[in-house]
Amino acid sequence: MLEARLGETQLLKKIVDALKEIISLSTLDCSETGMQLQSMDNSHVSLVSLSLQTGCFEKYRCDRNVSLGLDLKSLSKVVKSASGDDSVTLSAADKADKLLLSFESDNKSRTADYELKLLNLDQDHLGIPDTNYACTVQMPSSEFARICRDMSMFSETVVISCTKQGIKFSANGDLGSANIKLAETSKGDITIDVEEPITQSFAGRYLNTFTRATPLSDRVKICLAPEVPLLVEYSIEDYGYIRYYLAPKVDD
């Protein structure tokens, strides 16, 4: 049996918002150590990976591993019906065909229970090896969101170049070109670790979608390495993360 309680529905709302633009159906795997989810988008260009350790929850119990096939649009509708301040408890039996979501208001005067039908999903899981990234950049997540938004006005393709001097985002299109450079700051809000310089091209549409996770974390980590997908990571309250992987564009 699974029983997992979050103190605030707001966190679940943010997580669902960060997932639902990339994937519509996905399996949430629950075990005694927490919850994991991994799915590629329909066009196999990006992958999202969610991890919530038990520390994310006020209460967590999972006696036996259980996989919950979720329709994220349906889950989104349910969490929208709750107030962000409500607590939410997710419950499922060992061989569940439905997920129970119980919301309780702050003063416990209002409770709302929803049953969500679960799906049997046959999804590929990919083994992502530990990667020694050539460049790791950390910056305010709002800054990254702003850059991705601004770049997408100019081109579908965003070129990211990273050197010891800084990280540069470039887009070139019919309108003209855009270049935004960020250097490391002494106060530490932008850090840039470079083992070797790198330049790669990515689909701006996907980068923009990743920034739906901005409300989850003040900071974002961007990791690049030759010949491997880009990693964009948002941490979740010290006990979890949402990671997006994006295959680079390559010259024919």
Partner 1 sequence: EPLQNDLAEYYDKL
Binding site for partner 1 (CB under 8 A): 40, 44-47, 124-129, 156-157, 201, 203, 228-229, 245-252
Name the 3-class secondary structure at 246.
strand
Q: Residue 82 gets which letter from DSSP?
A: S
Q: Which is nearer to partner 1, 90 or 207 (CB)?
A: 207
Nearer to partner 1, 103 or 245 (CB): 245
Instruction: Identify which of residues 114 and 245 has a Cβ nearer to partner 1 in the complex.
Output: 245
- At closest approach, how far in Å is the CB of 170 from partner 1? 13
Residue with smaller CB distance to partner 1, 166 or 248? 248
Q: How far is the CB of 61 from partner 1 (least distance, A)?
A: 27
- Name the minimum Å distance from CB 156 to partner 1: 7
Spatial separation of the C-alpha atoms in residues 16 and 21, rounded to whole Å: 9
DSSP string, 157-220: EEEEEEETTEEEEEEEETTEEEEEEE---TTSSSEEEESS-EEEEEEHHHHHHHGGGGGG-SEE
> In the sheet where 240-246 sits, what is the strand order?
66-71, 25-31, 34-40, 46-53, 240-246, 230-236, 219-224, 135-140, 191-194
Which of residues 35 and 203 has its CB atom nearest to partner 1 in the complex?
Answer: 203
Residue from 46, 52, 9 nearest 28 by CA: 52
Give the shortest CB-155-to-partner 1 separation in angstroms: 9
- The nearest distance, CB 41 to partner 1, in angstroms, is 9
